[in-house]
Amino acid sequence: MGNKKYLKFITPETKIHLVIIGVLVFLFIFYQPIIALLGAIVLIYLIYYHWKNIHIKKEEWVKYIEGLGEEFESATKHAIFNMPIPLSMIDLDGSINWYNTKFLDMMEDRNILDENLEDLVPGFRAENLLKEKKEPIEIKFKDNYYKVYYNIVDTKKTVTSNEKIAMLYWIDDTNFSLLKERYNNERLIVCVAQVDNYEEVKKNTDEINRPIVLAEIDKRINGFVSDMEGIVRKYENDKYVIMFENKHLKELEKRKFDILDSIREIDLGNKIPITLSMGVGTNGKTPSQSYEYAKAGIDIALGRGGDQAVVKKIDRLEFYGGKTKAVEKRNKVRSRVISHALRQLIDQADSVFIMGHKNGDMDSFGASIGLLRGVKNRNKSGYIVLRGSNPSIANIYDRVKNEEPDILENIISPEEAANLVDKYCLLIVVDNHKPNFTEAPELLNKTDKVVVIDHHRRAAEFIEDPILTYLEPYASSTCELVTEILFYMGDKMELTKLEAEALLAGISVDTKNFTFQTGVRTFEAASILKREGADTTAVSQLFRDDYKTFILKAEVVKAAHITHDSIAISKFPVDMEDSILIAAQAANELSTINEVEASIVLALSGDKVHISARSLGHISAQLILEKLGGGGHLTSAGTQLDNVTIDEGEKLLIKAIDEYLKEGEEK
């Protein structure tokens, strides 16, 4: 081993010379022993001399390396301490172990050793250093922005008592951050605004006051835009395009788009309140794309009943306003156009499938029966997709079974429908526009010919790309809309008595016997059905309860308590087949009590908690339950909660009510 180490220091040339001398000495042993002896002595000397020389050079080299290391270490220390970026070393609990001069300058020469970095730098959290993704931490400290890069060092083998420390590298990112902030602030926001009831306001305002009222609308909208240093262009009597910088959007959101309140407060001789809807498009890659977002937003705002602003931020929506009743627009032209378009779609389809929402009610089932008649009148095969009867439709379902069994033959399960539906079929969704809430969501992907007919205020979730949409939130019910469609679809409606009563029953349920959400068109639809043979007495019998249900409903009403001065809340903690129906009916009963502005009932339904809400109009049942993933109308809404107890559901409900009322107070 020692020879090997020695040989490493012998150059190749020296090795050759020594080998040649050694060979010659060996040869001389046989011919000239004396000369060979002298040669051996010389060879030994040369080897010794060379070894000694190599040993000296090795020591010099070691000393050189050691000196170089010391110089390097000194230079490294000097470089680290005087590095032009701040450096710091901390324990994983945040306490500072070491820092360089730049970091000390950053901290304004304070004595910070052993202090906790979390206390010194707001927003810094040591726990973020242990995240799997080793991305830099963005920190704002005083007036500067930093990107903090870091690495974790294991110190178990060192003399320190800590097992792990973190080295932090503070990169000043202020210029880029300020530029980014400026870019975000100056991004263009496009807004489309529309006066919801412009024509109605004109008609219901005296001629002498009409110009003043209309001018005041323009004045307030122009003032609103001027405050934001934006621009506005009026392209129709009731429509505006508005542009402003993104920095004003947060303030608008903070003020809950108070321009809606300002327009509604106009009182210069107009007999009805004026309401405004707005669609705001943000984060578009181009102004054109932001404009498309704004148009989508205004469509949603109008679909939800108007008097609100919808901010579309690429993949999410935010809602402001929407606390007033939707304004009825007497425009039968749209109903006629929708009816003719639907007739053409039915004629072009191989077959037609009609489905409502999960746990169908009288409105969805009645609308389905009515549309099935419309399909049959066009000599097309049609089916109602229904998972089966439930307490809400049991009475009308039994009548169908007994009086018109041919309708029953056209009612199929979602599984059967899945085997029949193809791209040549037409799918009509009634009384619902949320894809996941339909009776059979899987059918939506089997055909691109989907029609939506609904009266609920539009939610953020909507069936993707329907070929035809008839969404009228002012309408009392889907049965009202379907009655109008059937009226314009052909020369004669040709409804049977049972079909007419099913449609009238749907209207009666959603209007609570013509007391809520009832407009002129509602009574017109009812009169049409009456002429088609609907018997109001027979319809009323569809809503009769048995003695047990009546008692249970009475117990729910009795157990109610008043919260927030005017909101009645009760619970039905029994999981039974009729629990949802009992909850809905109990909510209806509670809403008839004096000084109760809204009523909400929670009920167990399998592994879910169902919530039914009713309101007289001063409180929005829809906006409260939207906070819990539900929806509906101003006066009627519902939702379901998963994986919670009924008591936990009540706590979530109370929190949603608090948030709703707080938003109202902030306005």
* Residues 214-243: tens digit of each pLDDT: 999 999 999 999 999 999 999 999 999 999
Is residue 278 within 8 Å of 192, Cβ to Cβ? yes
pTM: 0.60
Q: How many angstroms separate the first and last alpha carbons of the chain?
A: 90
Provide the pLDDT for residue 113: 81
Dist CA 425 CA 413 (whole Å): 17
DSSP 136-170: PEEEEETTEEEEEEEEEEE-TTSSSS-SEEEEEEE
- Mean pLDDT score, 311-323: 78
For the cut 90, the answer to whether the pLDDT of residue 102 exceeds it is no
The residues, any chain, with a CB within 8 Å of residue 585's CB and separated by 6 or more, are 545, 553
* Residues 542-588: tens digit of each pLDDT: 887 778 888 998 999 999 999 998 999 999 998 887 888 889 889 98
263-269 long-range contacts (CB < 8 A, ≥24 apart) are 263/195, 263/217, 263/220, 263/221, 264/307, 264/324, 266/213, 266/216, 266/217, 266/220, 268/209, 268/212, 268/213, 268/216, 269/205, 269/206, 269/208, 269/209, 269/210, 269/212, 269/213
Q: How far is CA 388 from the centre of its chain?
A: 32
Q: Which residues of 322-395 form beta strands (DSSP E)?
A: 351-355, 381-385
Q: Which residue has the tokens 């050079």?
A: 57
* Residues 341-384: tens digit of each pLDDT: 899 899 989 999 999 998 889 999 999 999 999 999 999 999 99
**Nearest alpha carbon to residue 304 among 288, 291, 321:** 321
Dist CA 623 CA 289 (whole Å): 29
Question: What is the token pair recorded at 507?
Answer: 């209207």
The residues, any chain, with a CB within 8 Å of residue 608's CB and separated by 6 or more, are 640, 641, 642
The mean of the pLDDT values for the chain is 84
Provide the pLDDT for residue 154: 73
Provide the pLDDT for residue 265: 92
Is residue 184 within 8 Å of 246, Cβ to Cβ? yes
For the cut 70, the answer to whether the pLDDT of residue 30 exceeds it is no
- Amino acid letter, residue 161: S
179, 182, 187, 191 alpha-carbon torsion, rounded to 10°: 160
- Mean pLDDT score, 74-78: 61
DSSP 548-572: HHHHHHHHHHHT-EEETTTEEEEEE
* Residues 515-529: tens digit of each pLDDT: 877 888 899 999 999
**Nearest alpha carbon to residue 438 among 449, 450, 423:** 450
Report the sign of the C-alpha dihedral through residues 134, 138, 142, 144, in that order: positive
- Mean pLDDT score, 294-309: 83
Dist CA 480 CA 485 (whole Å): 9
Provide the pLDDT for residue 523: 93
pLDDT tier at 162 (50, 70, 90 boundaries)?
Answer: low
Dist CA 631 CA 621 (whole Å): 8
- What percent of the chain is modeled with pLDDT above 70? 86
Is residue 632 within 8 Å of 580, Cβ to Cβ? no
DSSP 113-138: TT-BHHHHSTT--GGGGG-SS-PPEE
21-28 long-range contacts (CB < 8 A, ≥24 apart) are 21/46
**CA–CA–CA angle 569, 571, 576 (5° rounding):** 150
DSSP 391-424: TTTHHHHHHHHHH-HHHHTTEE-HHHHHHH--TT
Provide the CB-side half-sphere exposure for 384 (13 A, CA). 28
* Residues 386-441: tens digit of each pLDDT: 998 888 898 999 999 999 999 999 999 999 999 999 999 999 999 999 998 899 99
Provide the pLDDT for residue 1: 42
Three-state DSSP class for residue 486: helix
**Nearest alpha carbon to residue 275 among 156, 193, 386:** 193
- Mean pLDDT score, 176-187: 88
Is residue 506 within 8 Å of 477, Cβ to Cβ? yes
Dist CA 9 CA 564 (whole Å): 94
Three-state DSSP class for residue 41: helix
Dist CA 362 CA 505 (whole Å): 7
Q: What is the DSSP letter of 457?
A: P
For the cut 50, the answer to whether the pLDDT of residue 5 exceeds it is no
For the cut 80, the answer to whether the pLDDT of residue 468 exceeds it is yes
Q: How far is CA 78 from the centre of its chain?
A: 53
The 10 Å CB-count burial string (b at 16+, else e) for 389-402 is bbbbbebbbebbee
**Nearest alpha carbon to residue 149 among 174, 121, 168, 132:** 168
Task: Considering only residues 199 and 483, tell me which one the structure prediction assigns the higher pLDDT.
Answer: 483
Label residue 520 exposed, middle or buried (CB < 10 Å: 0-12, 13-18, 19+). Answer: exposed
Q: How many Cβ atoms from other residues are within 10 Å of residue 221's Cβ? A: 20
